[in-house]
Amino acid sequence: MKNVLILGATSDMAQAIAKKYAAEGWSLTLAAIEPELLASIASDLRVRGDVTVDTKTFDATDFENHRAFYESLETRPDAVIAVFGYMSDQEKVRTDIADIRRTIDINFTGMATMLSVIADDFEKRGRGAIAAISSVAGDRGRQSNYIYGSAKAGLTAFLSGLRNRLAKKGVHVMTVKPGFARTKMTENMELPEALTASPEQIADAVFKGLEKKRNVVYTLWMWRYIMLIIRHIPEFIFKKMGM
Amino acid sequence: MRTISDWGNYPVIEADVAGFDSVGQLRKQLEDPGELIAFGNGRSYGDASLQKRMVLTRRFSKFLSFDESSGTLCCDSGVLLSEILDVFVPRGWFLPVTPGTKLITVGGAIAADVHGKNHHVDGSFGQHILSMDIMRNDGSIITCSPTVNAEFFKVTVGGMGLTGVILNASFRLKRIETAFIREETVRAANLGEIMDCFEVSVGWTYSVAWIDCLAKGDSMGRSIMMRGEHAQTHELVSPTHKHAPLKVNKGMQLAVPFRFPNFALNPLSMKAFNFAYYNKCRPGTHQHLVDYNSFFYPLDAISNWNRIYGKRGFTQYQFVIPKEAGREGMARILKRITDSGLGSFLAVLKLFGEQDSFMSFPMEGYTLALDFPISQKAMELFKELDAMVADYGGRLYLAKDSRMDAAMFEKTYANADEFRQAVTLLNEGETRFASLQSKRIGITN
Ligand SMILES: Cc1cc2nc3c(=O)[nH]c(=O)nc-3n(C[C@H](O)[C@H](O)[C@H](O)COP(=O)(O)OP(=O)(O)OC[C@H]3O[C@@H](n4cnc5c(N)ncnc54)[C@H](O)[C@@H]3O)c2cc1C
Ligand SMILES: NC(=O)c1ccc[n+]([C@@H]2O[C@H](COP(=O)([O-])OP(=O)(O)OC[C@H]3O[C@@H](n4cnc5c(N)ncnc54)[C@H](OP(=O)(O)O)[C@@H]3O)[C@@H](O)[C@H]2O)c1
């Protein structure tokens, strides 16, 4: 039976991803900060179906312990999906040093350290798949969320490099760029319905993307074109726009 | 803040919304003083789950336990009925009661005490609840059942979220051998015929009729009854079904991608639809084997079908009148509706069985539900219909309502006063449960 490790497993997207993999017959290792919620997610999955689920406490900002965390896993995973992330209301915190660091630590540094450890192991084994949730916000810095956006841009670049390195080693790396998704991160925000994906849609896209070894997946296809346009607006015009 | 509405897109409001993953998070939300209401999946039609501050329950949706021997499921209130079906139909279990959409939460099913096509046999959803936990306005949790804290249980079933936030519930699923329904359709030429048909169909577990509300004169009330039973294994014919009797294909999911312009639905297009639908069914009685989705949830196959009503939104007028008043009353009310020419395609008729509960909508008698695009004319028509419904001793379904006035509610819900007192008592304190509806119809102020 194949095993998937989901990092940040209490997020809404991750919960949908876990259900998808369980339904496809994989065994699961769920890792997140919140042990209580994690336990209830695991027991929910067991009631829903016959599935093997392990849980592990994991903090993305506990960089020093990422190797120990990985080595402590009972089952070495065939696929890893890193979902954790952090977005604050930038208008409120753009000069809050602690919040800027937190945004970068979780969205970029934590991803880079954790995935580097995993990448080494996968490289040695000569197989495995890694997917991480970045964001269209990383495709171009915009005034409304460039701190989060730049951390995600870093993650996107990191994943692209990792893919480049591991492609010849039998290890596949996939970058997932959701547009808007209706999750607790965006619960109280006005989102354009037609451009907003459900966690389930994202879970399907992640599963299918990895099966088909896609490199970069935009969830909801329109976003690829929206971001293509946004990226190509000349800077002298872009800087005057209020995005 | 975000814009939000229930299924009818009327009214549309701006609200502060927040969900919760744990009991602790909900308790924290309730520490904030003020008024709020639970919002499940927004499948009520009007404003029953709307308010400037709302608790979203959809994310609170874990399956807690399932007992294979008795079929008892315990799950959080945010679980959708569709999730229960996805998990348990393949294992040979079905919902004890289900409304015409599976996209509602368990919390919404209890709070509105929903009914299905088997009401005359199995009653409403609330009658199947063995036990549930509710968080009160002060953050305390109360466990209740028909025997434990029975008074609290009584006001919470059908209590439209006004007694607290339902956290989880246990109820028994029912055994099925196959995922298919042996369906029989019967065409009835007018109201008299369809009512006869209901009365001889009480032996069927499921029955409902689609009624053409635009047909007038001698054909007024022409309808198609659909009645059904869970098919047994030996009744299946196709080898694929016989081989995997509990498996259904996903089917095609269509979507209405945007709001239709208001003029798209006009009397002509509706008439054409109704004519086609009625004539698609040949006269007489016909048997088919259909999967449970096509039998119970034909509309769920089209996501966002509510958008065909455009920006103005729509409402569903659903009333019930006692069986004694049935023939005469239904004929008079239906005539008023067909004369107005305002009704649209979805009109559903059903005969309820007896029901003895505190605030729930069903009573032994006939219920008719039909959709209307929002308009001044429709609002005036509803006023007239209200008077007739009240005269016959009937009432309107709160889960569908967005416009009834306090006087109508007071007149038609026998326990209105007692319910208001209970809600007032339960809401003492800084945090109170109230919806736009509860304020409009005078349950809360
Ligand atoms: C296509 C369609 C067909 C339908 N057919 C039927 C039918 O055949 N029979 C029938 O009875 N109904 C039917 N309905 C109505 C629907 O079943 C009810 O309105 C149901 O209550 C909707 O549940 P929801 O989860 O969407 O809740 P919402 O619409 O969000 O809320 C409904 C009410 O429940 C309360 N509530 C929700 N969750 C909780 C909670 N956890 N704790 C406390 N209160 C809560 C809300 O405050 C509100 O008062 C239909 C609706 C549609 C759209
Ligand atoms: N929602 C969108 O519109 C959208 C769009 C594009 C990209 N994304 C990305 O999608 C991913 C999933 O987000 P979501 O929308 O599902 O929102 P979410 O539910 O808020 O997910 C974020 C998750 O990250 C976890 N997390 C935060 N800090 C952590 C840490 N130090 N260590 C481990 N886990 C930590 C959170 O755990 P706690 O809850 O326990 O804090 C939470 O479960 C994120 O990477 C997000 O950036 C979201």
Q: Which of A139-143, B213-217, B242-246, B396-400 has the lowest mean pLDDT?
A: B213-217
At residue A221, the pLDDT reads 86
User: Does residue B6 have its Cβ closer than 6 Å to ligand 1?
Assistant: yes
- Nearest CA-CA partner of B157 in B21, B429, B356: B356
Give every CB contact of residue B227 below 8 A, 6+ residues apart in sequence.
Answer: B183, B184, B186, B201, B204, B206, B207, B208
pLDDT category of residue A136 using cuts at 50, 70 and 90:
very high
**In whole numbers, what is the pLDDT of chain B averaged over residues?**
94
Cα(A13) to centroid of ligand 2, in Å? 8
Shortest distance between the Cα of A216 and any Cα of chain B, in A, equals 26
At residue B345, the pLDDT reads 65
User: Does residue B105 have its Cβ closer than 6 Å to ligand 1?
Assistant: yes
Tens of pLDDT, residues B44-63: 999 999 999 999 999 999 99
**In whole numbers, what is the pLDDT of chain A averaged over residues?**
95
Tens of pLDDT, residues B167-226: 999 999 999 999 999 999 999 999 999 999 999 999 999 999 999 888 889 999 999 999
Interface ipTM above 0.85: yes
User: Does residue B80 have its Cβ closer than 6 Å to ligand 1?
Assistant: no
Q: Return the domain boundaries, chain B.
A: 63-176, 180-403
Q: Same topology for domains B63-176 and B180-403, yes or no?
A: no
Q: Can you tell me the distance from the alpha carbon of B403 to that of B413, in angstroms, rounded to the nearest whole number?
A: 16
* Any B CB within 8 A of A49 CB: yes
Structure-block tokens of residue B16: 């502060």
Tens of pLDDT, residues B202-215: 999 999 999 988 88
Percent of chain A having pLDDT more than 90?
Answer: 84
Provide, as residue numbers in chain A, all residues whose Cβ is less than 8 Å from the Cβ of B56. 187
Chain B positions contacting chain A at CB under 8 Å are 1-3, 16-19, 21-22, 56, 59, 62-66, 87, 257-258
Residue type (1 letter), B383: K
Structure-block tokens of residue B83: 């999730």
Give every CB contact of residue B405 below 8 A, 6+ residues apart in sequence.
Answer: B440, B441
DSSP secondary structure code for residue A96 in this structure: -
User: Does residue B225 have its Cβ closer than 6 Å to ligand 1?
Assistant: no
The CATH-assigned architecture of domain B180-403 is 2-Layer Sandwich (3.30)
Q: Do B21 and A48 touch (CB under 8 A)?
A: no
Q: Can you tell me the distance from the alpha carbon of B287 to that of A106, in angstroms, rounded to the nearest whole number?
A: 60
Q: Do A44 and B62 touch (CB under 8 A)?
A: yes
- For the segment(s) B63-176, the CATH number from 3.90.1150.30, 3.90.1150.10, 3.30.70.1400, 3.30.465.10 is 3.30.465.10
Q: Is-contact B322 B364, C-beta < 8 A?
A: yes
Average pLDDT over residues B416-439: 98
Residue from the list A12, A48, A188 with its beta carbon closest to the beta carbon of B18: A188
Question: Which of B306 and A79 is assigned the larger pLDDT?
Answer: A79
Provide, as residue numbers in chain B, all residues whose Cβ is less than 8 Å from the Cβ of A184. 19, 21, 59
Give every CB contact of residue B300 below 8 A, 6+ residues apart in sequence.
Answer: B82, B101, B102, B103, B293
Question: Which structural domains are found in chain A, ordered by start?
Answer: 3-241 (3.40.50.720)
User: Does residue A60 have its Cβ closer than 6 Å to ligand 2?
Assistant: yes
Tens of pLDDT, residues B366-407: 999 999 999 999 999 999 999 999 999 999 999 999 999 999
